[in-house]
């Protein structure tokens, strides 16, 4: 594709970075107005706290602002899909933002918001998962109602999972950047220009906030931003999978490895310990890493540095699966084997680290 054509296709989408970054700055400098409503208070969820000081946690506003600004200024064949995905994500964004603004929205209602967004996406995009590359399950997907129900379940779970891992500066945003980037590369390899452009918008809108979130934590993604990103990226992934039969679903799962595995394992350990799934704790993988790091003398007096350094240490854990997904994007067996292998390594590392406390 010629440079002129690339520039024409990308026209407007670079505004996602500018819009997200600008709104993030506005939120930070106007903190005295809204901080009492949008900063973490002394609630039960504070058991998961990994930062010091009051910080705005409505970064989701900046994310959607960047996406909308890019959509408004774009003029290419993907803008319609972009608008529909953004529109479908509004319900879950609202539920998340209400919690960010201290309205104490219970997890079950946030999950309901994610499910509503998934239903809206199915209606607007007129698509859903048609396979997961598991032989007998794929046969069931021939029945559209079952396929639609599984799609709602899967996308709701992925949306929630991005909130589960949102506990350190740059972690959930870093996973979002990684996810959108590797989906974009696979889309490029398979010549799916539509998905390439969609991924670019969500990558740039995340980057605008990331630049102010990491490493100093001037603004947080918040529940609204985490749920919204998880929703949008899950639907971009579905479009990529449905439009390109040569791509294995297991490679997509490898790209989403960290949030999905962290969420599934968190559910398991809470059920195993007979704890309510909605009760906050400090036993997530990233929190164990942070608690060990902050004990080191080097970080003893700088919690913010320990927070961001913990994210840096976890970086290989979500980059490696995505690199393998890139290599084996069309090899179901290999992608499946590596997913199971990495899952086993995750569990071993988790219990090894837990035993060291």
pLDDT per residue over 17-73, tens digit each? Answer: 999 999 999 999 886 666 666 665 444 445 555 555 678 889 999 999 999 999 998
Q: What does pLDDT average to over the chain?
A: 89
Rounded mean pLDDT, 69-95: 92
CA–CA separation, 294 and 301 (whole Å):
8
8 Å CB contact between 324 and 345: no
- In the predicted model, is pLDDT for residue 2 greater than 50? no
Whole-angstrom CA distances from 32 to 27, 40, 60, 210 are 10, 14, 19, 22
pLDDT tens digits for range 168-194: 999 999 999 999 999 999 999 999 999
Average pLDDT (333-350) is: 97
Separation between Cα atoms, residue 106 and residue 61, nearest integer Å: 20
Phi, psi of 56 (to 5 degrees): -60, 135
The percentage of the chain sitting over the pLDDT mark of 70, rounded to a whole number, equals: 89
- Burial annotation 63-86 (CB, 10 A radius, 16+ → b, else e): bbbbbbbbbebbebebbebbbbbb
Hey, how many other C-beta atoms are within 10 angstroms of the C-beta on 177?
19
- What is d(CA 290, CA 323) in angstroms, rounded to the nearest whole number? 25
Q: Are 59 and 24 in contact (CB under 8 A)?
A: yes
Task: Please tell me the distance from the alpha carbon of residue 16 to that of residue 19, in angstroms, as a whole number.
Answer: 5
- Calculate the dihedral angle through the C-alpha atoms of 258, 259, 260, 264, rounding to the nearest 10 degrees: 100
Instruction: Quick: pLDDT tens for 122-168.
Output: 999 999 999 999 988 999 999 999 999 999 999 999 999 999 999 89
235, 43 contact by CB (below 8 A): no
Q: Give the per-residue pLDDT at 301.
A: 67
Q: Is the dihedral of CA 250, 284, 302, 229 positive or negative?
A: positive
- How far apart are alpha carbons 264 and 9 in whole angstroms? 38
Work out the pLDDT band at 294, boundaries 50, 70, 90. Answer: confident
Q: Give the residue among 18, 83, 84, 23 at the shortest CA–CA distance from 56.
A: 23
């Amino acid at each position: 594709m010629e440079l002129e054509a690339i520039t024409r296709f990308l026209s407007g989408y670079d505004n996602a970075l500018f819009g997200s970054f600008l709104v993030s700055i506005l939120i930070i400098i106007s903190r005295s107005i809204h901080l009492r409503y949008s900063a973490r208070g002394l609630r039960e969820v504070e058991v998961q706290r990994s930062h010091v000081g009051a910080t705005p946690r409505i970064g989701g506003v900046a994310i959607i602002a960047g996406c909308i600004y890019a959509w408004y200024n774009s003029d290419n064949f993907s803008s319609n899909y972009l608008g529909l995905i953004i529109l479908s994500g509004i319900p879950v964004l609202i539920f998340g933002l209400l919690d960010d603004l201290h309205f104490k929205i219970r997890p079950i209602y946030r999950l309901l918001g994610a499910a509503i967004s998934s239903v809206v996406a199915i209606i607007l995009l007129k698509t859903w998962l048609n396979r997961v590359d598991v032989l007998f399950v794929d046969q069931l997907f021939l029945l559209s109602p079952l396929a639609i129900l599984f799609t709602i379940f899967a996308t709701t779970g992925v949306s929630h999972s991005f909130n589960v891992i949102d506990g350190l500066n740059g972690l959930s945003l870093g996973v979002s950047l990684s996810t959108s980037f590797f989906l974009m590369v696979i889309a490029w390899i398979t010549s799916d220009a539509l998905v390439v452009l969609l991924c670019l918008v969500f990558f740039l809108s995340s980057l605008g906030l990331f630049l102010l979130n990491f490493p100093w934590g001037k603004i947080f993604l918040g529940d609204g931003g985490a749920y919204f990103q998880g929703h949008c990226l899950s639907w971009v992934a579905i479009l990529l999978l449905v439009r390109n039969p040569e791509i294995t679903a297991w490679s997509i799962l490898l790209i989403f490895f960290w949030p999905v595995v962290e969420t599934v394992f968190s559910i398991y350990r809470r059920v195993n310990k007979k704890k309510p799934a909605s009760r906050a704790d400090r036993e997530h993988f990233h929190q164990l890493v942070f608690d060990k790091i902050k004990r080191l003398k080097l970080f003893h007096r700088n919690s913010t540095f320990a927070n961001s350094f913990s994210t840096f240490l976890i970086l290989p854990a979500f980059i490696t699966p995505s690199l393998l997904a890139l290599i084996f994007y069309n090899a179901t067996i290999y992608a499946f084997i590596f997913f199971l292998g990495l899952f086993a390594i995750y569990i071993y590392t988790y219990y090894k680290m837990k035993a060291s406390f």
